[in-house]
Amino acid sequence: MVEYNNLYEELCRRVNIDKNGRNPIRKALLWYNQNRCFILMLGWSEIFRRIEDLKEQIILLRPVYSDDGNTTELLFMAGKQTEKTMDRRNISSVRQSLARSYHLDLSAQSRELEQKFNRRYLLPFYLPDGRVFVPLKMRRPQVIGDATYGYVDVACIKSVHKVNGQTMLKLTGGEEVPLCSTSLSAYSSISLGKDTLEYLTSRDHDEQEQVLDALGILINKLYRIEKILEKF
Protein backbone atom coordinates (compact mmCIF):
# COMPACT_ATOMS: atom_id res chain seq x y z
CA MET A 1 0.00 0.00 0.00
CA VAL A 2 1.41 3.39 -0.97
CA GLU A 3 2.00 5.74 1.96
CA TYR A 4 -0.60 8.50 2.27
CA ASN A 5 1.84 11.40 1.84
CA ASN A 6 3.47 9.94 -1.28
CA LEU A 7 0.08 9.13 -2.78
CA TYR A 8 -1.26 12.59 -2.01
CA GLU A 9 1.74 14.23 -3.67
CA GLU A 10 1.32 12.02 -6.75
CA LEU A 11 -2.37 12.91 -6.86
CA CYS A 12 -1.58 16.62 -6.78
CA ARG A 13 1.05 16.21 -9.49
CA ARG A 14 -1.34 14.35 -11.83
CA VAL A 15 -4.12 16.91 -11.60
CA ASN A 16 -1.70 19.85 -11.59
CA ILE A 17 -2.73 21.44 -8.31
CA ASP A 18 -0.76 22.89 -5.46
CA LYS A 19 -0.78 20.37 -2.60
CA ASN A 20 -1.20 23.29 -0.18
CA GLY A 21 -4.51 24.10 -1.88
CA ARG A 22 -3.64 27.43 -3.46
CA ASN A 23 -4.98 26.48 -6.90
CA PRO A 24 -8.81 26.16 -6.71
CA ILE A 25 -9.36 25.53 -10.45
CA ARG A 26 -9.00 21.74 -10.32
CA LYS A 27 -9.84 19.75 -7.25
CA ALA A 28 -9.35 16.16 -6.20
CA LEU A 29 -11.00 14.06 -3.56
CA LEU A 30 -9.03 11.34 -1.82
CA TRP A 31 -10.26 8.96 0.78
CA TYR A 32 -9.69 5.51 2.18
CA ASN A 33 -12.20 2.70 2.38
CA GLN A 34 -11.21 -0.48 4.18
CA ASN A 35 -7.51 0.35 3.76
CA ARG A 36 -7.88 0.68 -0.01
CA CYS A 37 -7.42 3.93 -1.82
CA PHE A 38 -10.04 5.15 -4.24
CA ILE A 39 -9.24 8.25 -6.26
CA LEU A 40 -11.71 10.50 -8.01
CA MET A 41 -10.27 13.36 -9.98
CA LEU A 42 -10.89 15.53 -13.00
CA GLY A 43 -8.89 14.48 -16.04
CA TRP A 44 -7.85 11.02 -14.80
CA SER A 45 -9.79 8.24 -16.52
CA GLU A 46 -8.42 5.25 -14.60
CA ILE A 47 -10.58 5.27 -11.48
CA PHE A 48 -11.92 2.22 -9.71
CA ARG A 49 -15.62 1.55 -9.98
CA ARG A 50 -17.96 -1.37 -9.41
CA ILE A 51 -19.74 -3.01 -12.30
CA GLU A 52 -23.06 -2.76 -10.45
CA ASP A 53 -22.89 1.01 -10.92
CA LEU A 54 -22.36 0.62 -14.68
CA LYS A 55 -24.58 -2.36 -15.40
CA GLU A 56 -26.77 -0.56 -17.92
CA GLN A 57 -23.79 0.90 -19.78
CA ILE A 58 -21.29 -1.97 -19.74
CA ILE A 59 -20.15 -3.34 -23.11
CA LEU A 60 -17.02 -5.31 -22.21
CA LEU A 61 -15.37 -6.84 -19.17
CA ARG A 62 -12.01 -8.55 -19.31
CA PRO A 63 -9.46 -9.93 -16.83
CA VAL A 64 -6.22 -7.95 -16.51
CA TYR A 65 -3.16 -8.01 -14.32
CA SER A 66 -2.52 -4.66 -12.69
CA ASP A 67 -0.58 -3.23 -9.77
CA ASP A 68 -3.58 -4.19 -7.64
CA GLY A 69 -3.39 -7.83 -8.72
CA ASN A 70 -5.94 -9.88 -10.64
CA THR A 71 -8.51 -7.25 -11.57
CA THR A 72 -11.11 -6.55 -14.26
CA GLU A 73 -11.13 -3.87 -16.92
CA LEU A 74 -14.53 -2.45 -17.84
CA LEU A 75 -15.54 -0.67 -21.03
CA PHE A 76 -18.82 1.21 -20.83
CA MET A 77 -20.85 3.78 -22.74
CA ALA A 78 -20.85 7.32 -21.41
CA GLY A 79 -23.29 9.08 -23.71
CA LYS A 80 -22.00 8.40 -27.22
CA GLN A 81 -18.44 7.75 -26.10
CA THR A 82 -16.77 4.62 -24.80
CA GLU A 83 -14.88 4.97 -21.53
CA LYS A 84 -12.68 2.64 -19.54
CA THR A 85 -12.35 1.94 -15.84
CA MET A 86 -11.28 -0.83 -13.47
CA ASP A 87 -13.07 -3.02 -10.96
CA ARG A 88 -10.71 -4.26 -8.24
CA ARG A 89 -12.35 -7.71 -8.17
CA ASN A 90 -11.43 -10.62 -10.43
CA ILE A 91 -13.62 -11.28 -13.43
CA SER A 92 -15.45 -14.24 -11.88
CA SER A 93 -16.60 -12.06 -8.98
CA VAL A 94 -17.46 -9.18 -11.32
CA ARG A 95 -19.55 -11.42 -13.58
CA GLN A 96 -21.42 -12.88 -10.61
CA SER A 97 -22.01 -9.40 -9.18
CA LEU A 98 -23.45 -8.25 -12.51
CA ALA A 99 -25.78 -11.24 -12.52
CA ARG A 100 -26.88 -10.65 -8.91
CA SER A 101 -27.68 -7.02 -9.68
CA TYR A 102 -30.27 -8.35 -12.17
CA HIS A 103 -31.31 -11.29 -9.92
CA LEU A 104 -30.08 -13.76 -12.53
CA ASP A 105 -29.21 -17.42 -12.07
CA LEU A 106 -26.25 -17.96 -14.42
CA SER A 107 -26.23 -21.71 -13.79
CA ALA A 108 -29.85 -22.02 -14.90
CA GLN A 109 -29.04 -19.86 -17.92
CA SER A 110 -26.17 -22.14 -18.87
CA ARG A 111 -28.39 -25.23 -18.64
CA GLU A 112 -30.96 -23.55 -20.87
CA LEU A 113 -28.39 -22.69 -23.52
CA GLU A 114 -26.74 -26.11 -23.26
CA GLN A 115 -30.04 -27.78 -24.12
CA LYS A 116 -30.83 -25.29 -26.87
CA PHE A 117 -27.49 -25.38 -28.69
CA ASN A 118 -26.13 -28.76 -27.54
CA ARG A 119 -22.95 -27.13 -26.30
CA ARG A 120 -21.46 -27.22 -22.82
CA TYR A 121 -18.47 -24.91 -22.79
CA LEU A 122 -17.79 -21.23 -23.47
CA LEU A 123 -21.43 -20.25 -23.45
CA PRO A 124 -22.58 -16.63 -23.57
CA PHE A 125 -24.75 -15.11 -20.89
CA TYR A 126 -27.58 -12.62 -21.32
CA LEU A 127 -29.25 -9.85 -19.36
CA PRO A 128 -32.99 -9.14 -19.00
CA ASP A 129 -32.78 -6.18 -21.39
CA GLY A 130 -31.69 -8.51 -24.22
CA ARG A 131 -27.94 -7.87 -24.20
CA VAL A 132 -25.88 -10.98 -24.91
CA PHE A 133 -22.25 -11.21 -23.77
CA VAL A 134 -19.95 -13.67 -25.54
CA PRO A 135 -16.77 -15.15 -24.03
CA LEU A 136 -13.49 -14.43 -25.80
CA LYS A 137 -9.97 -15.28 -24.66
CA MET A 138 -8.41 -11.94 -23.72
CA ARG A 139 -5.26 -12.77 -21.76
CA ARG A 140 -2.71 -15.50 -21.03
CA PRO A 141 -2.59 -16.64 -17.40
CA GLN A 142 0.46 -15.91 -15.26
CA VAL A 143 -0.85 -18.24 -12.56
CA ILE A 144 -2.50 -21.61 -13.16
CA GLY A 145 -6.24 -21.27 -12.60
CA ASP A 146 -6.50 -17.58 -13.42
CA ALA A 147 -9.39 -16.73 -15.73
CA THR A 148 -8.45 -16.00 -19.34
CA TYR A 149 -11.83 -15.17 -20.87
CA GLY A 150 -13.53 -11.80 -20.96
CA TYR A 151 -17.03 -10.98 -22.16
CA VAL A 152 -18.27 -8.49 -24.73
CA ASP A 153 -21.76 -7.40 -25.80
CA VAL A 154 -22.25 -9.10 -29.17
CA ALA A 155 -24.16 -6.07 -30.47
CA CYS A 156 -21.02 -3.95 -29.97
CA ILE A 157 -18.73 -6.16 -32.07
CA LYS A 158 -17.79 -4.82 -35.49
CA SER A 159 -15.18 -7.28 -36.71
CA VAL A 160 -12.29 -9.62 -35.95
CA HIS A 161 -9.07 -9.17 -37.90
CA LYS A 162 -5.31 -9.71 -37.78
CA VAL A 163 -2.70 -7.03 -37.12
CA ASN A 164 0.89 -8.29 -37.54
CA GLY A 165 -0.27 -11.79 -36.65
CA GLN A 166 -2.22 -10.64 -33.58
CA THR A 167 -5.96 -11.35 -33.52
CA MET A 168 -7.82 -8.14 -32.77
CA LEU A 169 -11.43 -7.51 -31.83
CA LYS A 170 -12.82 -4.24 -33.19
CA LEU A 171 -15.81 -2.70 -31.46
CA THR A 172 -18.45 -0.52 -33.07
CA GLY A 173 -17.01 2.51 -31.27
CA GLY A 174 -13.64 1.95 -32.92
CA GLU A 175 -11.80 0.47 -29.93
CA GLU A 176 -9.58 -2.55 -30.58
CA VAL A 177 -8.99 -5.31 -28.05
CA PRO A 178 -6.25 -7.95 -28.52
CA LEU A 179 -7.41 -11.56 -28.32
CA CYS A 180 -5.42 -14.63 -27.31
CA SER A 181 -7.15 -16.96 -29.75
CA THR A 182 -7.47 -17.58 -33.45
CA SER A 183 -9.92 -15.62 -35.55
CA LEU A 184 -11.82 -18.87 -36.16
CA SER A 185 -12.34 -19.46 -32.44
CA ALA A 186 -13.45 -15.86 -31.95
CA TYR A 187 -15.93 -16.05 -34.83
CA SER A 188 -17.32 -19.31 -33.45
CA SER A 189 -18.08 -17.69 -30.09
CA ILE A 190 -19.52 -14.58 -31.74
CA SER A 191 -21.72 -16.73 -33.98
CA LEU A 192 -23.12 -18.54 -30.94
CA GLY A 193 -23.80 -15.16 -29.34
CA LYS A 194 -25.77 -14.04 -32.38
CA ASP A 195 -27.71 -17.32 -32.36
CA THR A 196 -28.50 -16.74 -28.69
CA LEU A 197 -29.72 -13.22 -29.44
CA GLU A 198 -31.98 -14.57 -32.18
CA TYR A 199 -33.24 -17.33 -29.88
CA LEU A 200 -34.10 -14.83 -27.13
CA THR A 201 -35.92 -12.57 -29.56
CA SER A 202 -37.95 -15.51 -30.87
CA ARG A 203 -38.63 -16.81 -27.36
CA ASP A 204 -39.85 -13.43 -26.15
CA HIS A 205 -42.14 -13.14 -29.17
CA ASP A 206 -43.58 -16.61 -28.49
CA GLU A 207 -44.16 -15.71 -24.84
CA GLN A 208 -45.97 -12.53 -25.87
CA GLU A 209 -48.17 -14.53 -28.24
CA GLN A 210 -49.00 -16.99 -25.45
CA VAL A 211 -49.94 -14.15 -23.12
CA LEU A 212 -52.17 -12.58 -25.78
CA ASP A 213 -53.82 -15.94 -26.46
CA ALA A 214 -54.49 -16.44 -22.76
CA LEU A 215 -55.94 -12.94 -22.45
CA GLY A 216 -58.17 -13.62 -25.46
CA ILE A 217 -59.52 -16.78 -23.86
CA LEU A 218 -60.12 -14.98 -20.56
CA ILE A 219 -61.97 -12.11 -22.26
CA ASN A 220 -64.21 -14.56 -24.14
CA LYS A 221 -65.08 -16.37 -20.92
CA LEU A 222 -65.89 -13.13 -19.14
CA TYR A 223 -68.06 -12.07 -22.06
CA ARG A 224 -70.01 -15.34 -21.86
CA ILE A 225 -70.47 -14.97 -18.12
CA GLU A 226 -71.74 -11.43 -18.62
CA LYS A 227 -74.31 -12.65 -21.17
CA ILE A 228 -75.49 -15.36 -18.82
CA LEU A 229 -75.90 -12.91 -15.94
CA GLU A 230 -77.92 -10.56 -18.15
CA LYS A 231 -80.64 -13.24 -18.32
CA PHE A 232 -81.31 -13.04 -14.60
Distance between CA atoms of 120 and 114, rounded to whole angstroms?
5
Under the phi-then-psi rule, with left for phi > 0, alpha for psi from -120 to 50, and beta for the rest, what region is 52? alpha
pLDDT at 65 over 50: yes
What is the predicted pLDDT for the residue at 120? 86
Average pLDDT, the chain: 81
pLDDT in tens, 82-140: 999 999 999 999 999 999 999 999 999 999 999 999 998 899 999 999 999 999 999 99
Between vectors from CA 107 to CA 106 and to CA 109, what angle results, nearest 5°?
60
Mean pLDDT of 187-192: 96
- Determine contact, residues 97/153, Cβ cutoff 8 Å: no
